């Protein structure tokens, strides 16, 4: 039986897996048809005919994770590190009847490499579902506060 605390703990744990660079464990949090979406526009609703910064299915997420490990991944020599600060996640939808849970979280995210460090502010929305007794991500939406700004490389995951 999923509780509100389970949902909140899930979001905290997801951020910790990313901070600890346990990317394989992180990908396991996604449902088989799960997606990671980072819109390009403020309040964007369309993913198909409007560009996004990221719109990854599991294939593309695995590609990123495998690439991060690669011996010829020169943009990760040396490797980047990341750091998430989360406000307490807020449960917006708790619908065990339709097995749908939506959690909204305000975050600060730091990505660093060598002498360089970038700070991003964002709101994340986790669309979660229970599969075989465990919560899984159907859609993780990451809305950067400055989504329409010009960025340098963002190599890890908010």
> Site residues (CB under 8 A) for other proteins?
38, 40-41, 48-55, 59-60, 62-64, 66-67, 70, 72-75, 148-155
Element housing 4 (H / E): helix 4-19
Q: How far is the CB of 20 from other proteins (least distance, A)?
A: 21
Q: For residues 95 and 115, which CB has a smaller minimum distance to other proteins in the complex? A: 115
- Nearest CB to other proteins, comparing residues 82 and 91: 82
Measured CA to CA in angstroms, residue 117 lies from 83, 151, 152 at distances of: 11, 12, 11
Q: Do 80 and 114 touch, CB atoms closer than 8 A?
A: no
| Nearest residue to 104 (alpha-carbon basis) of 122, 82, 77, 85 | 122
Closest separation in Å from C-beta 146 to other proteins: 11
Q: Which is nearer to other proteins, 101 or 120 (CB)?
A: 120
DSSP 3-state assignment of 62?
Answer: helix
Looking at beta carbons only, is 25 or 55 nearer to other proteins?
55
Residue 127 C-beta: closest distance to other proteins, Å: 20
Tokens matching residue 72: 């010829």
């Amino acid at each position: 039986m999923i509780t509100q605390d389970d949902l909140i703990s899930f979001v905290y744990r997801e951020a910790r897996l990313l901070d600890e660079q346990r990317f394989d464990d992180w990908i396991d949090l996604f449902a088989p048809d799960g997606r990671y979406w980072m819109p390009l526009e403020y309040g964007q609703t369309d993913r198909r005919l409007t560009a996004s910064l990221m719109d990854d299915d599991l294939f593309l997420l695995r590609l990123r994770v495998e690439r991060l490990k690669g011996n010829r991944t020169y943009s990760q020599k040396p490797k980047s590190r990341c750091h998430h600060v989360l406000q307490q996640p807020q449960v917006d939808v708790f619908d065990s009847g339709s097995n749908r849970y939506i959690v909204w979280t305000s975050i600060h995210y730091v990505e660093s490499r060598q002498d360089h460090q970038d700070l991003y502010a964002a709101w994340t929305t986790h669309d979660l579902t229970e599969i075989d007794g465990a919560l899984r991500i159907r859609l993780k939406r990451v809305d950067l506060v400055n989504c329409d700004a010009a960025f340098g490389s963002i190599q890890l995951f908010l």
